[in-house]
Structure 1
C-alpha cells in the first residue's frame, strides 16, 4: 500500500492535460505514475491513470484520482477553500474492491488519522476527519482496487456537501504489455504494463520542483522530510516488552549485498526488531562494488552490480562517519608482526529502513588500495573471493572485518546488549570480544548470539592467518578446548576453526530451524564437528528458531513486478463470483501464469500445472532430484493432455510444464538438456521454418522441449514472476537448514513439493495420497489433512520425487476446488504466518535475548 507519507516529487512522473472550460467546472485529464517505490526506469514505463479535477463557483476544488488493474491503488480527495474548514463525511465501496484495508490520511501533515473497515464507511454517525488547517489539505484513502464497483465519497467544504461517485472498471488484461519471448529487453527487465493506456493526451505540464504536482494545479503537499525510496519501519509500541540494543555483524544484507538467504535473514530480522521497538544496527563490509555505485560526493558510480539493483537505489545517505585504526598483523621476515590498519566507517540507511555502518580500510582519494597498500574489500563485482577477482583472501578479509567491527563499537562507546553474529564470516568476533574487549566499559553485560545459517564452511585457517587477519596472537585459541581443529593435531601447521571457537565462546547458538537444530544435535550435516555438538555445554547453547521472510517485500497483493496482483481473500467474497467457477478465486494469479507462459515461449494453458525450480544448482540442493523432476514433467500425460488457450492449437501432451531459474557449478546436465531442446526445436521447424513431421519418440522429445524453460542465472524480477505463475514449486534439497523458497511459494499461491529435511519439514506438511478421478467414491469423500499445505518425500531416488510430483499434479488436475481451498483458505497456505513478526521467528529471538541479557 502506498500512503501519503510515501508521496514524493518522484511519485508523479509526468502530468498531461486537456481542458474543457465552462462557467463553473474545469475538467482536466492528468496522467500520473503513482508507484513511488519503482525505479526511475520503471516509472517511465509504468502505466498511467486518469484523474478528474473539478472547480465549483463557491471556490472549492476537488481532485479524485483512481488507479486500478490489480495494482497498488490510491483514492485521493484533495480539497481547498477560503477559510480552511473541511470534513470527510463518508466513503463507501463494496468490500471486495479492496485487497488491503484502506487507510485515510491528511496532507500536508502526511499523518494517517484513522484506519477503518471499508464495510462501515457508509454508516458513520460523525465525520471521519475534520480539519481547520490554513494550508490546502488532501484526504487520501489507500487500498488495492481489483474489481469493478462503485466508490462514493461525501466531502463537506465550508458546510456544503459534495458527493463524488466513481465507477471503477473491471481489471482489464488489455493494459498488460504482453511479452514477446524474442523481444528486447527481456520481459522481466521491463514494466509489465503499457506505457500509455489512455487516449490522445500529449501535453506535458510543468511539475513543481518540491511537490511533484502540476504547477497550475493549486494543490500543495509538504516536501518529504525523508528519502522517498526508503521503506521506513513503523514502530509498534508495547510497554510490557523489554527493549534491546542489538548489533548485527554480517557479510550480507539484502538488498544491498546479497548472494543467498543469509542477506535476506539479516535484513528481515533487523526490520522486525526495529518494528518491535528495539535499537538495531547492522555492520557490513564496504565492498568496492558498493562504493563504486554510491554517490559520496565523488563521481565514481560507473560500475553496476551483476544482479539486483544498483547500490545507489538500495543505500541512502551514505556519509563518512569515522576514521580509526584497526589492529592488524603482517608477515615480516617469516614472522608475524603487529601494527594497525587505518580504516574508515560510513553510515547509511538501506531502502528497507535499516541503519548500517559500512567498514573498509582507509584509501587515498581515487585509489582502490588502502593507504598501506591493502586490497581488502576492493576489486571485483561481488562479495566473496574478492568479488571473483581474487584480489583479496576471504579469511584475512573477514577476520579483519570482525576485529574492525568490535574496534568501531569500542571507539564510539556503543554498548550493545546483544552482539548478533552470522556464520563464520563474523564469528571470530565472539572470540575477540572476550579475549581483547572484555574490559571495555559496559561490555561485561554484552551477550553474543551466533546464528548458524549453513555449516558447509567452518572458517578454517592457520594460526598465522588468524593472527594476520585479526591482529591477535592465536596461541591462546589453539587448544582442543577452544578453536583448534583436532584433525590437524601434530600437523605442521595446525589449523583453527573459526566456527568451533565461536561456538565455544558465544552465549547462544541458533540454528535456523528447529529440525536443523535437532539434526545438528544428532551429528548430521556437521562433519568433523560432530564431537563438539555432543558436548553438553554446547548442546545447552543450541536453539532452533525458524527463519521468516519479509512479508512486505514478498507480497503478491502489492508486488510491483507482477502484471496482476492477487491475495487469498480476493475475490472470494465478490457478489458476482460464480460458485461453479472456483478458478476465478485466483484471477490475478491466472493472469500472471499466462504472462509467464507467453514470455518464456511456452504453450498457453490455464489447465496445465507449472512446476518451478528456483535454486542454486549445487549438490546440496538435490541436483539429481531436480533433473528427475524435470524429466518426469516431460513424459507423456496418461489422460490425453491439456487444452490450450487457443482452440486451434494441439493439446499439451506432457504431464506438466517445467520452469527452472538457477545457476551453480552443478548446472552442466541442465545446460546439455537446454542445448538438446534447442536442436530439437530447430530440427522440427525445418529449413523454411515450416513444421516437419517427426517420429513418435522425437515428437515427444519436441513436446517436452516446448514445455520447459531453463534459465541459467538469477534475476529477482524473474523469480517473482515465476513464483506468481507457478502452481507447484519443487525444493528437493538433500539438506536445508531452513529454506525461504517454500515460504515464498506458499505466499504466492503455489504448493511446494519438498524433501523432508531441516526447515522444509518445519514449514511444509504433507497432504497425503490423492485419489484419482476414476475412484469416484474415494474422491467424493476425500478430505485433505487440515494442516496440509504441500507434498513431502523422504528418499533420495528419482522415484521418490516422481511419486510426490505425481500426487501434486493429481490434486491440481482432478480436485481443483480442493486445491484452491488449500491455497486460499488453509492457515498454512497463502495465509500462513511466515513473516519475521510471527511468534515462532522474531518472538523466539526476543525470548532468547530476554533469557540471556541481565
Structure 2
C-alpha cells in the first residue's frame, strides 16, 4: 500500500511540537506492516540544509501564482517529497512565524500551496508513483481533500488527523478566489463564523477523521472542547477514530541513552539515582531525599501553568522540590520565576527548550506534573512512563488514556502507573501533589508504580496497526 503523508513539520528535519514527532515516526512504524509512505513537507531553509542532495521530480511553475519544484530525498529512513517554493518558504524565522514571533501574513498561501501540491501528487502528478491514499495532518495540510473534492480529476481516499483542534487555520473569507476554489466551496466546506477555516474544510471533505487519542475523539464532540466544530464532527461521528500516539523507543530508551548520567532499566532501577544527583546539581537544588517534581512544557493556560504557579508554594511546603523547563506566556514565565526566587534550592527553572536536559529531567525527577486543561494526546507522560518518572496528570484526552491512576484497586492489582486528578484547579492539583508525596514516602509502593510504568507499551507498534486498519477500511479492505 502506498500512502502520501502531508505535514508542515517532520522530525528530525523541522519541529515545533508533537505533530512533527508523529509525522516522522509513523511512517517508520508502518513500514514493517507493508505500508510505503512518502511524506510531503515544505522546503524550509533548515530542511533543505539538512537534506543536502535531492532529485527534481516535478516542476510546478504556477502553484497559486508562485514557482515551485517537488524534490525527492531520503533522510534517516524517511522517504521525502520536498515542496521547494523559495518565495513561500525561504525566509528567516520558524515554520509559521517570523523572527519576531509574528505569524507570517501569507500563511494562508504558504499552506494552501502545500495542500494543492499534495492534491496534485495524490491525483497522479508524479510519473512513477501514485498513492492509494492520502493522510494529512492538521490545518496546514487540511485543504488537500478540499482541492481533490472540487477538482475534475478523481479523488482518492483521504484521512485527516487532528492533533489539536484549537489550531484551525482561520483566515478572511476574501482569500477564497486566491485559493482557486469555487464559491460554493466556502458554504459547503470552509465557512466558519464569518471566516474561512482550513481545518473545517478538511474535516468536511476527508473520507475519515482521526485524533491522537480515543478520549480526545470523544471530547471534541463536546462544545467545551470542540472549539465550534463539534456539530460538524458529530455529523461525521461514524468516520471518527481516536488513535493514541506512540514514541520513538529507540530515542527514548533509559537503558541506552547517551544524554544521561547513568543508563538504567527496570532490573537496574537503583542506578537511576545518578541522574537524580546530576539533575540536582544542574538546577542548584538542595541535596536531600525530598521528591523532585518536574515540568517540561509550554508555559500556557492550556497546559495549566497558571494553576501550577498557584500551587508551587504549597508543593514546597508539603515537602517537594520542583524543576521547570519551558517558555510561553510572559506573565506565567514571570510568576514561575518568582516562585523559584522565593524558594532557592527547592525550585529551579530553565527557560526555553533543551532536548538533552529534557532527557535528564525524565531520568532524574521522581514525578512529572502535567496539569493540562485539555491534551489531545501528550508525549511527555509517555516519556515519563518509559523513564520511571511517575506522571501526575489531569484526567483529559490522551493523559486519561495512557496513565492508570494509583487508586486502591489499581494498586492492589499492581496496575497503577501514575496519578490522575480532576478538575484542573488549585485544589485539584494541590491534592494530587500531596497524593504523590504520600505514595513516594512508601518506597516499595513507589518502586512498584515506577516499574509498572516502565513496562507499559508506549511504542508505535499497536497504534501503527490501528492506522493500517483505518487505511484498509477506506480502501474497502476492512
Structure 2 residue 457 is the aligned partner of structure 1 residue 843: no
Structure 2 residue 14 is the aligned partner of structure 1 residue 263: no
Task: State the alpha-carbon separation in 2 of the partners of residues 347 and 621 from structure 1.
Answer: 37
Task: State the alpha-carbon separation in 2 of the partners of residues 610 and 756 from structure 1.
Answer: 22
Give 2:190's aligned residue.
Answer: 483
Task: State the alpha-carbon separation in 1 of the partners of residues 61 and 383 from structure 2.
Answer: 41
> Which of residues 741, 753, 766 is equivalent to 2:405?
766
8 Å contact from structure 1 (residues 251, 426) kept in 2: yes
Task: State the alpha-carbon separation in 2 of the partners of residues 348 and 269 from structure 1.
Answer: 18
Give 1:830's aligned residue.
Answer: 454
8 Å contact from structure 2 (residues 260, 275) kept in 1: yes
8 Å contact from structure 2 (residues 279, 365) kept in 1: no
**Alpha-carbon distance, 1:320 to partner:** 3.6
- Range that drifts further, 707-716 or 379-388: 379-388
Structure 2 residue 304 is the aligned partner of structure 1 residue 589: no
Across the aligned residues of Structure 1 and Structure 2, the Cα RMSD in angstroms comes to 2.1
Give 1:632's aligned residue.
Answer: 314
> Which of residues 381, 387, 393 is equivalent to 2:93?
381
Spell out, residue by residue over 1:696-726, the C-alpha distance to the aligned partner (whole angstroms, 9 max, x if none).
Answer: xxxxx4xx22211111100111111101101
8 Å contact from structure 1 (residues 288, 379) kept in 2: yes
| Residues 669 and 423 (structure 1), Cα distance of their counterparts in 2 relative to 1, 3 Å cut | closer
8 Å contact from structure 1 (residues 324, 408) kept in 2: no
Can you give the 5+ residue segments of structure 2 that lack an aligned partner in the other structure? none
Tell me which structure has the larger Cα radius of gyration.
Answer: 1
Task: State the alpha-carbon separation in 1 of the partners of residues 104 and 306 from structure 2.
Answer: 34
Give 1:524's aligned residue.
Answer: 224
**Alpha-carbon distance, 1:805 to partner:** 0.9
1:181-260 mapped onto 2 (5 Å cutoff): 244-260=1-17
Task: State the alpha-carbon separation in 2 of the partners of residues 433 and 327 from structure 1.
Answer: 18
**Alpha-carbon distance, 1:346 to partner:** 2.4
Give the SS at the match of 2:470. helix
**Alpha-carbon distance, 1:671 to partner:** 2.5
Give 1:715's aligned residue.
Answer: 354
Give 1:406's aligned residue.
Answer: 119
Task: State the alpha-carbon separation in 1 of the partners of residues 374 and 440 from structure 2.
Answer: 27
Give 2:375's aligned residue.
Answer: 736
Give the SS at the match of 1:554. coil
Spell out, residue by residue over 1:368-402, the C-alpha distance to the aligned partner (whole angstroms, 9 max, x if none).
Answer: xx5xxxx3112123111246466652111101111
> Which of residues 45, 52, 60 is equivalent to 1:325?
60
Task: State the alpha-carbon separation in 2 of the partners of residues 794 and 675 from structure 1.
Answer: 26
1:744-755 mapped onto 2 (5 Å cutoff): 744-755=383-394
8 Å contact from structure 2 (residues 340, 349) kept in 1: no
> Which of residues 38, 41, 47 is equivalent to 1:281?
38
Structure 2 residue 330 is the aligned partner of structure 1 residue 659: no
| Residues 417 and 287 (structure 1), Cα distance of their counterparts in 2 relative to 1, 3 Å cut | same
> Which of residues 202, 205, 220 is equivalent to 1:505?
205
8 Å contact from structure 2 (residues 254, 264) kept in 1: yes
> Which of residues 58, 70, 74 is equivalent to 1:349?
74
Task: State the alpha-carbon separation in 2 of the partners of residues 318 and 808 from structure 1.
Answer: 51
Task: State the alpha-carbon separation in 2 of the partners of residues 341 and 836 from structure 1.
Answer: 38
- TM-score normalised per structure 2: 0.93
8 Å contact from structure 1 (residues 378, 386) kept in 2: no
| Residues 672 and 755 (structure 1), Cα distance of their counterparts in 2 relative to 1, 3 Å cut | closer
Task: State the alpha-carbon separation in 1 of the partners of residues 339 and 315 from structure 2.
Answer: 16
Spell out, residue by residue over 1:749-782, the C-alpha distance to the aligned partner (whole angstroms, 9 max, x if none).
Answer: 1111111011111111211269xxxxxxxxxxx9
Can you give the 5+ residue segments of structure 1 that lack an aligned partner in the other structure? 1-243, 295-311, 330-339, 362-369, 489-494, 572-585, 638-654, 679-700, 771-781
**Alpha-carbon distance, 1:467 to partner:** 3.4
**Alpha-carbon distance, 1:288 to partner:** 2.3
**Alpha-carbon distance, 1:675 to partner:** 5.2
Instruction: Considering Cα pairs closer than 8 Å and 6+ residues apart, tell me whether 1 or 2 has the greater RCO.
Output: 2
Task: State the alpha-carbon separation in 2 of the partners of residues 747 and 788 from structure 1.
Answer: 14
Task: State the alpha-carbon separation in 1 of the partners of residues 470 and 104 from structure 2.
Answer: 39
- TM-score normalised per structure 1: 0.53
8 Å contact from structure 1 (residues 463, 474) kept in 2: no
Give the SS at the match of 1:347. strand
| Residues 402 and 408 (structure 1), Cα distance of their counterparts in 2 relative to 1, 3 Å cut | same
